[in-house]
Amino acid sequence: MENFKNRYKAIIFDMDGTIVDTERVWQNITLEVLRYYNVQESEETLLRFAVGLAGVCTDNAVHAIKETFNVEHSHEDIKQYKLACAERHLSVQLPFITGFESFHNILQKHQIPSSIATNARPENLKKIDSIVGLSSFFGNNMFCIADVGYKAKPDPALFLHAAEKLGASPDQCIVFEDSMPGFQAAKAAGMKCIAIKNTANTHLLDQVHAAIESYHDAEEILKKI
């Protein structure tokens, strides 16, 4: 890790699907919303749509629901129902992505600063922190969409904000991400990006500098990137 420290100064993590395995949870939330508003499509179509919303912020997801399925209810009605669903679904034990804890311990051992930069709303970040103890890893370095005036990825604002708070220039940061909005935001911010592989992003990995199956591979990939 010493060679890594000579080239890079900080690591920035997305949260959902990158630190905590919540992508299936968010898919189920979307499916519940679609059923509640009586969207008449096959289960296969609905699931494909839900998977496609990986990494998309709440407002953009609601917009996609309205536009794709011609839901007549207001944006605010759908948004509030989606947030209520999130409150219920996220009130469970959530697993870390494999190897995250041990990898982050390595970063702490080598005094490499790190942060979260997530499209999540502040209430969802707070909820997940209360369940898995994110603040024990990141302290106050947990930034969400509210910290940048609700500018969601693929806008680079979140990553640039995190870099500034960590005292690093964009070219000194490595981003860990799992979705296209995050890949695009990292590129727009001028940061290298490592993908956490999943079933929804295998066709998108040409958009990143490297990809890993789990954090057990992270230290080795950082030596090469």
- Nearest Cα to 14, choosing from 223, 217, 206, 189? 189
pTM of the model as a whole: 0.84
Predicted local distance difference test score (pLDDT) of residue 22: 83
Q: pLDDT for 183-195, tens place per residue?
A: 999 999 999 999 9
* Residues 6+ away with beta carbon under 8 Å from 74: none
CATH number for the 2-20+95-224 domain, one of 3.40.630.40, 3.40.50.300, 3.30.1330.60, 3.40.50.1000? 3.40.50.1000
Say how far apart CA 8 and CA 15 lie, in whole Å. Answer: 21
Q: pLDDT at position 171, please?
A: 96
Length of the chain: 225
Domain boundaries, the chain: 2-20+95-224, 23-89
Q: What is the mean pLDDT of residues 104-131?
A: 94
Strands (E), 58-169: 114-118, 142-144
Integer Cα distance of 158 and 145 in angstroms: 7
Q: Specify the pairing of strand 210-212 against strand 114-118.
A: unpaired
**DSSP, res 202:** G
Cα separation, 86 vs 205, in Å, equals 28
Q: How far is the first Cα of the chain from the last one, in angstroms, to the nearest whole number?
A: 12
Beta bridge partners of 144: 118
